[in-house]
Structure 1
């Protein structure tokens, strides 16, 4: 049976609501999310793009309100200087200013891993096509310095033979840090042993031929297989343990700096949250342009431009004020709800969710998430990530809420005190935790131990 297939196109009207964020709303969210060290450059960029924003203000004079018939502009022009600006200026002693200037001047640029490796290549006399292949290999390294790409894929990408790309890989592996461009952990350890000229050592033999037994910590079986005393195996293991499975790339990565967003100080038994405004320049609406707006001879298009920049400038000032106010409010809620932590120390950290803080602060949960992301709180116990105050937990035998951070710290303490030749199993750790008032299941102990980066008992055992 034949069927006629026809395609038809038609337009049908549809109504729906969509929430579209304005540039100002996006800017406000960005200001809330960035750490205090990144806030200053963002504000500086806005000052450069908006001529009506200024970092120096003058005493205000009376301005006739009838100069413009728009109510919002009239109110702005009537505001006194203190309400039309963001004054964050702090007075520092000359000694503090010198220390701050020295810190800023001492920050030097550090090349990235790729830049550092490419600079090392320039000190090697290479043929041009081999140098290009070395640069290709360097570009294929992952964040840990491993070469995960197959040599055949690199040869295809470089349009060269497999022999040439293998030669390039070997050249890159001679660069610093030792172990760079290894295909796996085993090769990384072998490269580091080669750099120490230990190719003929027992440690090299163990890594090269018995890597699985080494990883499983089967030292007695390894000694039996190699027909060597256990003491010699221990000595070789000690050499291997001094190698670097994770390369120290801190010398070639840019330095990271952190600064407290808020400081918590105790005064007369009460805690006070103090915002860090030292990286915020004072902001004013430029007097010269405000006066230009009041002139009758000012062209309409210029007035419209100035009005737009006034709106933008006021929104930036209000957004910064709102940011600081929101973070201070959230930090105050954290201090109130984690008061025992600030009085007695980290072991008194309680379970706390962002939803609880959001309800107390009167904001949305996502606002709390943005407000604490990448930000630090300074108190007498150190510089602490604000996210650290949000942890899950459970009730102990007395019915008190205990944070899982406290339990993790206790697990670490128990393992640090164990006999290394007879390490505790997860079940034994669970029994010890129960004795201390923390009824934790064995599988929970295993999960917490793994998050702490601690090996199971069979791999912690020493011989």
Structure 2
């Protein structure tokens, strides 16, 4: 076969360094953001911290400017795109901590990935939920990088082999099979691969007939599968001693004032010394190029921190708009709300909303809550009404808490109890919600 040489023109989307920096800072909580800023101060000589005395003089100057303006404070801080106040800076010692996902991301250094693949791998990891499963469709991540789903599946494959094994899986079957892939000839792997549905419904006779195994072999295989980790993210939950909120909200009449909690975060600026040296041509050649690059990097870093504040505030403002009942004091009610709803409302990508809400907390008049708390799936009832799963779970929790602990309700009874309250659902759905809330089966809830 004759060989030939030809040119092919194609377009591929690639995030600019500034966009990558914005995404990286947005996904950090307040603790890790401070650590990142301190690290950047150490590495970039053109970036410097504003000392507290200078910061206070700047705030005084800003305050005098505000006082001279012929506008009310309410109008000044009611703009949807700039809805926050600057908090008074206070020293707050923060422990050196890494989140579970950051520890997973650090493992990427040990596997073979080019720059683009590593970026996609991080995107996949940041889109995993608390149970360790991929929380968005892979095709949506592929679209973000203008790639086909098949093109990023090899990256997902590598992510899923990090510790804990199965992280980033798309379903339970995939998660369990990954943990047994080193034993593909074993009976447990064959059960998962060829008879998963029968296994989940405990149709053991069908499994024996299909795989030609004995009772003893099947019993041992089921025992092995039962000891696998069905939720690779749960056993590694971040165990922080304290929660430091990223946002603080307070009611002001009919409005809410949203404040970014920047306590302990150093205020930054470009070094006047290096700016003057560049303007007066004090550097030449490689030195001049190096300083210019560092100044540009410092500007991007400062802008990224500012952008993080605006994004966090806009996301919080959108959540308040979508959940008026909860913020009016009815904490037992949440409307159905998806990340995509907030993304559409503030015209941002869904991955940006995911980064803004995961591991971020808000201090409200009713307590401190993770931003993910305000998101709830929807469920259509038999009468056609749509309610959030949050309401159903709250109702289910009240029923379980009020039961006689010497004779707790079985899942079948819970189905009937919820049906009496207007929530007609399948038994397996009730069992799933009960399990998600941390309540065991009836026999394990029984007390003497």
Structure 1 unmatched ranges of 5 or more: 1-6, 61-86, 110-141, 144-248
Query: Which residue number corresponds to residue 361 of structure 2?
Result: 376
Task: Output the CA distance in 2 between the equivalents of 1:377 and 1:342.
Answer: 12
Instruction: Tell me by how many angstroms 1:457 deviates.
Output: 3.2
The answer to which of 346-355 and 431-440 deviates more is: 431-440
Aligned to 1:420: 405
Cα-to-partner distance string for 1:438-463 (whole Å, 9 max, x where unaligned): 33333321221222233333554567
Aligned residues: 290
Q: CA deviation at 1:256?
A: 4.6
Equivalent residue number for residue 454 of structure 1: 439
1:388-403 alignment runs, 5 A limit: 388-394=373-379, 401-403=386-388
1:271 aligns with 2:256: yes
Matched position secondary structure for 1:454: coil
Query: Cα distance, 1:428 vs. partner?
Result: 2.3
Q: For residues 251-284 of structure 1, give each alpha carbon's deviation from its aligned partner in whole angstroms, at most 9, with x where no partner exists.
A: xx97554310111211223222111111321111
Shift of 1:437: 3.1
Equivalent of residue 8 in structure 2, options 5, 14, 23: 14
> Unpaired runs of 5+ in structure 2?
59-84, 98-163, 166-234
CA distance in 2, matches of 1:89, 1:442: 49
Q: Give the match for residue 309 of structure 1.
A: 294
Aligned 1:15-414 pairs, distance under 5 A: 15-56=9-50, 90-92=88-90, 97=91, 100=92, 255-296=240-281, 298-394=283-379, 401-414=386-399
TM-score w.r.t. length of structure 2: 0.56
Q: Is this contact kept in 2: 1:351–1:403, CA < 8 A? A: yes
Offset of residue 56 of structure 1: 2.5
Corresponding residue number in structure 2 for 1:246: none
Deviation at residue 341 of structure 1 after TM alignment: 0.8
Asked if structure 2 preserves the Cα contact closer than 8 Å seen for 1:39 and 1:279, the reply is no
Over alpha carbons, which structure has the higher Rg? 1
Spell out, residue by residue over 1:174-229, the C-alpha distance to the aligned partner (whole angstroms, 9 max, x if none). Answer: xxxxxxxxxxxxxxxxxxxxxxxxxxxxxxxxxxxxxxxxxxxxxxxxxxxxxxxx
SS in 2 for 1:378: strand
Task: Report the secondary structure of 1:13's partner residue.
Answer: coil
Given the two structures, how large is their TM-score scaled by the length of structure 1? 0.55
Matches of 2:96 and 2:316 in 1, distance apart?
A: 33
Once the two structures are TM-superposed, the CA of residue 345 in structure 1 deviates from its matched residue by 3.4
How far apart are 1:346 and its partner, in Å? 2.6
Q: CA RMSD in A?
A: 3.9
| 1:400 Cα offset (Å) | 6.3
Q: Distance in 1 between matches of 2:428 and 2:22?
A: 44
For 1:276-328, what per-residue CA distance to the aligned partner results, in whole angstroms no more than 9, with x for missing partners? 11132111111111111121454244333332222111111111111110110
State the SS of the aligned residue for 1:17: coil
Distance (whole Å) between structure 2 residues aligned to residue 37 and residue 409 of structure 1: 31
Deviation string 1:95-148 (CA, Å, 9 cap, x unpaired) is xx5xx45xx5xx699xxxxxxxxxxxxxxxxxxxxxxxxxxxxxxxx99xxxxx
